[in-house]
Amino acid sequence: MDARVRQTATRLADGRELIYFDDTDPYAGGAATRELRDHRDLPPVAAASEVRRDPLTGEWVTFAAHRMDRTFLPAATECPLCPTRPGRPATEIPAGDYDVVVFENRFPALGSAADTYTPVDDEPLWPRQPAGGRCEVVAFTADHDARFADLTLARTRTVVDALAARTAALSASPGVRQVFCFENRGIEIGVTLQHPHGQIYAYPFLAPRAQALLDRAREHHACTGRSLQRDILDAERRAERRVVWSGDHWTAYVPAAARWPVEVHLAPHRDVPDLAGLDDTERDELARIYRDLLGRIDRFFDGVDRVPYIAAWHQAPVGEGREYGRLFCQIFSLRRAPGKLKYLAASESAMGAWISDTTPERIAQRLRGVAP
């Protein structure tokens, strides 16, 4: 954690944890403290998620019926991620201002009060279990109308530090197998809150994508003795055609088999398992290029102001298989042209056979061309 950032933990009215990450004085220096008391009258969080195993694929599917009633696209004056200020309803953040805040989600996809479940219909084909784990919200800024690319470099670094700190803390929690940090941006992605924010999921299992990456990495290591992600990064840097940006510690490139109409991966040059493993110089450069890349995404299409995107941090699993994991960020958009989205139709959705409407080389060329 950067010495300029101060963490202050408190509890919301229903017992959920909230942590302020302050980088501005007088709060960062400890001369003042953000508002810690939540004055709302809130009932306890009623999360009753469970996971059921699909016998056809072996994948765990999460069921969280309580999320059906979560907050959906409220007016800016009723945004739960804005600071609590006079004349407006109290929000999830008691302070009248903040730098970066992380708190437990009131409508978590993961989390259950139950300890055990019997199989569905008592059939061994359909095992199920409580969906343990934890879901957190990361509010990047108090400015409701900002975008991540608008943040200052110092604030971007604070977000990096917050994600790293929470990755370390959640990885040490009992039963956690994977920590996933991400940002969904745009109603086309399914965002229900417009305020600039990200989320962190601490899964009690390996998600299907993470399991596939781990399996391929393990196979590659068995055949070559080397890291698959490392070999991919080195090969992309040798080819150069799809490299968007390269610095002292990070390289951004469009993968040779990119699926999405806009996609770029960001990987550290050093073998690092997760965000918590980055040193200060790596975090400094990451803050600079990460903000830059998100700005390029917004300039990718002429006439489109805010491109919907997902920024997903792939991190090494916790426990078994960790040695095969390697940190990288995948940023992608389902927009394929102004006014047009990439829909996952039969081939992609039913068969998992992807069909792209462009080429990785064209994507890289465009991302290089919209540099600031």
For the annotated catalytic residues, the residue numbers are 197
Between CA 291 and CA 199 the distance in angstroms is: 17
What is the CB-side half-sphere exposure of residue 225 using CA atoms within 13 A?
Answer: 0
- 139 by DSSP, 3-state: which? strand
Token pair listed for 52:
């059921």
Cα-to-chain-centroid distance, residue 39? 30
Asked if residues 217 and 201 have their Cβ atoms less than 8 Å apart, the reply is no
Asked if residues 178 and 203 have their Cβ atoms less than 8 Å apart, the reply is yes
Q: Where are the beta strands (DSSP E) in 140-261?
A: 178-185, 197-203, 243-246, 250-253
Token pair listed for 277:
């493993």
CA angle 227, 229, 231 (to 5 degrees): 70
